[in-house]
Structure 1
Amino acid sequence: MKSAAIVLACAAGAAFAQPSPADRVYTADQNSNTISVFNPASAELLGQIRLGNPRPDVLSPLYKGEINVHGLGFSPDHKTLMAVSNGSNSVTFIDTASNKVKGKTYVGRSPHEGFFTADGKEAWVVVRGEDYISVIDPQSFRETRRIPTAPGPGMVLFTPDGRLAFAVSSFTPEVDVIDVKSYSVVKRIPVVSPFSPFLQMMPDHSEVWLTHKDVGKVTRIDTRTLEVKGVFDTGFITNHLAFAKVGGKLLAYVTVGGENVVKVFSTEDTPRLLAAIPTGALPHGIWASDDGSRIYVGLENGDAVDVIDTAAGKVVSRMPAGQAPQALVYLSGVAQGGDGRQGLQPRANADPANVALKPVRSSGRGFVVARSLGLTDALEVSLFRLKPETVYSVYLGSQASPVGSFRTDQKGAAGGTMIGPVRAFAGGEAARAASRIVVMEGEAAADPASAALASAP
């Protein structure tokens, strides 16, 4: 496979225009409970909209503010940004010109993503913890009805004519096709995996592409026949995808979190892998600029956004963001003059530290991200491909007692967050080099013979 720069630069031909200073990029920052707002023309963070307190403050009784700011959607006129918080079951409507909250709606258990209908008259929010889509009036901010779906709807998007909606599921291996006028499911399309957190339409709306995070694949559905057109492999922890035209050819960009790359595929009947563009830690949300010259990638464990120049096929800049950015969207023409910082607050979080875990003997993999929380720190651990339904303990340095223990699921995966003083890892590269993280099977005192995963010495 050729490098990204060779494949894409040769295809690019003419130079691309730059994003406009009136455009904005937004990320939903799950751990800091913020919306980060960026100027793509200058490639800088303008500030943040704070919707709630950062972790671990949310562990105490919460009467105001949002938890786990996770999903993003927007109105067709780009005047309203919709932020979905799955911890506080809320949908926040934000005026993009002023960065001010216009209204808020509370829905059912653990909503995930939301989007406006093609005419902008309704906002549909998938309620992943249940089995329906909440329909909201964006003027009164009231829920007007619920549309039954397969359990665990993950995201919904509409055809431009406003006739059909496609809803993927996070728990059920199907895509629900909904008649917008009647609010009813008209077809259920079986797909390869029960976990599909994201979908995107081709620019001409001829196909819907959806990611399968659990098995590392992408499914293509023909929007005319409503049949699966194909499935292809993408990689470990496939998150979101975007499309961009480069040199007259439509390409697909897929974030593959477990490999820290954005993979570039052709969009012909049998997609070809054209390039793998290295990024920061755990790429998640992704969106293209309107002209296709840039791809913006949220780094879930990097607390930043990488900017890919599609002509060069590489990351050309990095913008600091809130903690654990999830969804990312690009909106054109939203700024209304001034410096664009009205209603925003400065970034309050420091950069995280990332540690890769590799198998000591045979199988398994994992990664750790350490974040400073002021007086304490958070150590987020993700483990994969270990023994199913088995307890593993995490040790820092030479400590005899674990800082936490996890039980893997049926697929051998586990994860969680530990809060406490872990300055050895949150304190920077030099401090981190003097310490080590070891994952051992069992809950007893540390035994080198039971080590399963470890960071580099």
Structure 2
Amino acid sequence: MKRALATLLLLSSAAPVCAGQAPGRAAAPDVPITAKDRFYTSDQFSNTVSVIDPSQNKLLGVIKLGEPTPANLSPLYRGQVLVHGMGFSPNGKTLAVVSIGSNSVSFIDTATNTVKQVAYVGRSPHEAFFRPDGREVWVSVRGEDYIQVLDGKTFASTARIKVPNGPGMTIFSPDGRYGFVCSSFSPETVAIDTRTRKVVGRMKQESPFCPDLAATPDGEQLWLTLKDVGKTMVFQAKPPFRALKTLDTGPITNHVNIVRRDGDQFAYVTVGGTNEIKVFRTGDFSQAATIPVGALPHGLWPSGDGTRVYVGLENADAVAVIDTAKQAVIATVPVGQAPQGVAYVPNAVPSGDGTANLQPLSAAQNSAQLSLAGSDGKAVTQVTLFNQGPIQMLQAAVTGLEPKAPYILALANDAKGETGVQPLAPFMTNPAGAAIVNAVGPIRQVVTDAEPDRKRYLVILAGTPDKPGTVLQSQAP
């Protein structure tokens, strides 16, 4: 009797997330959107967390975790770098924010918007998620080959779980029995028994690069994305963990999440190469909708009642709000630079207006977008220049090239790339003929200078910097 009562109290204090929102149980009640809810984005280049009131689709401000480049290059710098992954506690009181460059997880109090503790883990962590009972946080340390387990209250390191090289993300089954870990460097996803911390199932990925996965609230399926080949795989979420379906979703397929609404269950997948969301029924895997959203959709998460899906637009510094009944974008909200992981937390602010300690967006919104077109004049590559004061972070979502081939992103004196070619970044395309390419410098001033004799153009050439070839894409007017 006492043990049963203690278990009941533990479960009730955990306040599990909602049926409309993975990874909660399907039997849990929906929670309508209110001003107490919050939607968060982790902003990779401004090193901030953007905070949105979903009842108004309004940015309230940002939580500053670090400085932009070049301020974060000092050997005495103590802030966070490349703010990227995001998870939250079952009771909605704590946000777990992963910073890849500083190998850290910042734990933020959602009521006060303050960092209450920082845990440092191994090389290049990617995502951190609480177990459904809230007792542990599992951090996928993508630069190594293990899951770092942290205590759910003290956030101290307690154990390591050996997994295939390059764990990309961990998500738990709704009942908390299994932790699923996909890989970004090995073609294998594993199922781990959370009680014994032993691998009890292995699932073959069709490629080595999985950045994201989601478990359905009914406990039956596991969905995972393969960014390098533009596919999404579905597995049985119980032994024998067999493969159920592989879907061709498109170049730069990135994140997936599950939405339950009115008894139906759907998988929403972000496809960066086509700037859209693809929606699939989990029953027969048929496609239910295609939703244009904006430049390079990355992370996405549903509201507590499944009526909305919020999508971070990495190359637009914005969040797209989708009405799941209309399957259409109904609002766009500005956020910090290059939003990556996201989280929708119902009842994150039980009292007050929840704006304490937030800072204005300020310079994080000063970005510029342009596109590169192929020989037919059709824009195929989206480029964003993220302002960092005197310099810019350039990020290009490249598509429309040959798979697994070398190319150069470069500046040229003319749009055809015939003179003055200056390489910025060599790159290799993935098997889908796409790539995410980055460069740093005073590029915005050089490319957009008003004087015609000084203006330069972004181009993509075949080959390598020492053996450049033909210009295949050039800056569109």
Please give the TM-score of this superposition, normalised by the length of structure 2: 0.85
- Is it true that 1:171 corresponds to 2:191 in the alignment? no
For the 8 Å contact 2:44–2:82, the answer to whether it is kept is yes
Q: 1:78 to 1:93 in 2, by over 3 A?
A: same
Pick from 432, 435, 438: which aligns with 2:459? 438
SS of the residue 1:67 aligns to = coil
Aligned residues: 436
Deviating more after overlay: 403-412 vs 63-72: 403-412
Whether 2:472 is the aligned partner of 1:456: answer no
Partner of 1:78: 92
User: 1:423 aligned to 442, 445, 448, which one?
Assistant: 445
Q: Deviations over 1:365-403 (max 9, x none)?
A: 533211222223332234453475535241255372426
TM-aligned CA distance change 1:265 to 1:102, over 3 Å = same
The answer to which of 161-170 and 404-413 deviates more is 404-413
CA spacing shift, 1:420–1:102, aligned 2, 3 Å: same
Aligned counterpart, 2:275 = 260
Aligned to 1:4: none
User: What corresponds to 2:313 in structure 1?
Assistant: 299
Distance 1:219 1:427, change over 3 A: farther
Residue deviations 1:141-173 (CA, integer Å, cap 9, x gap): 221110000000011111233221111111111
Moved more, 375-384 or 337-346: 375-384
Change (3 A) 1:150 1:355: same
Which range is displaced more, 365-374 or 179-188?
Answer: 365-374
Corresponding residue number in structure 2 for 1:117: 131
Counterpart code for 1:274: A
The corresponding residue for 1:32 is 46
Q: CA, structure 1 residues 386+289, in 2 after alignment: closer, same or farther (shift >3 Å)? A: same
Q: 380-389 or 72-81: which moved more?
A: 380-389
Q: Work out which of the residue numbers 244, 248, 257 in structure 1 matches 2:259.
A: 244
Measure the CA separation in 1 of the matches of 2:408 and 2:174. 49
Q: Deviations 1:298-356 (Å, cap 9, x if unpaired)?
A: 00001110001112221111111110000111000111333221021111212422222
Report the TM-score when normalising by structure 1. 0.88
Q: Does 1:21 align with 2:41?
A: no
Output the amino acid matched with 1:452: L
> Which of 352, 356, 368 is matched with 1:342 structurally?
356
1:308-387 correspondence to structure 2 within 5 Å: 308-348=322-362, 349-360=364-375, 365-384=380-399, 385-386=401-402
Amino acid of the residue matched to residue 225 of structure 2? T
Write the distance in 1 (CA, Å) between the matches of 2:134 and 2:471. 55
Question: Partner residue of 1:390?
Answer: 406
The residue identity in structure 2 corresponding to 1:136 is: L
The 3 A distance-change label for structure 1 pair 390 and 62 is: farther
Letter matched to residue 420 of structure 1: P
CA separation of 1:250 and 1:63: change in aligned 2, threshold 3 A: same
3-state SS of 1:392 partner? strand
**1:60 aligned partner:** 74
Structure 2 equivalent of residue 87 of structure 1 = 101
SS at match of 1:276: strand
Go from structure 1 to structure 2 and tell me whether the alpha carbon gap of 1:208 and 1:62 turns closer, same or farther (over 3 Å shift). Answer: farther
Cα pair 2:98 2:105 within 8 Å, conserved = yes
CA contact 1:29–1:69 (8 Å) conserved in 2 = yes
Q: Partners of 1:155 and 1:414 in 2: how far apart?
A: 19
Structure 1 residue 240: deviation in Å? 0.9
Q: Does the CA-based 8 Å contact 2:461-2:471 persist in structure 1?
A: yes
Q: Give the stretch that moved more between structures: 191-200 or 403-412.
A: 403-412
Per-residue deviation, 1:37: 0.7
1:404 and 2:424 aligned:
yes
Change in Cα spacing, 1:446 to 1:189, as seen in structure 2 (3 Å) is closer
Q: Is the 8 A contact 1:353 1:425 kept in 2?
A: no
Equivalent positions of 1:75-154 (< 5 A) are: 75-154=89-168
- SS of match in other structure, 1:422: helix
How far apart are the structure 2 equivalents of 1:346 and 1:254?
31
> In percent, how many aligned pairs have the same letter?
43
Superposed CA RMSD in Å reads 2.8
For 1:387 and 1:293, the matched residues in 2 are separated by 38
SS in 1 for 2:459: strand
AA matched with 1:406? P
Q: Distance in 1 between matches of 2:256 and 2:141?
A: 21
- CA distance, structure 2, for counterparts of residue 241 and residue 427 of structure 1: 40
Greater Cα offset, 129-138 or 56-65: 56-65
CA distance in 1, matches of 2:398, 2:225: 21
Inter-partner Cα distance in structure 2 for 1:67 and 1:361 = 39
Which amino acid in structure 2 is aligned with residue 233 of structure 1? D
| 1:73-129 deviation digits (Å, cap 9, x = unpaired) | 111111111001111100111111111111111111100001111211111101000
The question of whether the paired residues in 2 share the 8 Å contact of 1:397 and 1:436 is answered with: yes
1:18/1:41 contact within 8 Å kept:
no
Contact 1:405 1:443 in 2 (8 A): no
Partner residue in 2 for 1:190: 204
Contact persistence 1:370–1:425 (CA under 8 A): no
Over 4 Å off, 4+ runs: 361-365, 386-389, 409-414, 424-428, 442-447
Deviation sequence 1:34-87 (CA, Å, 0-9, x none): 111110001011111111111232233253011111101111111111001111
| Residues 90 and 106, structure 1, Cα contact 8 Å, conserved in 2 | yes
- The C-alpha deviation readout for 1:195-252, integer Å capped at 9, x for no partner, is 1111111121211111111111111111223211111111111111222234542222
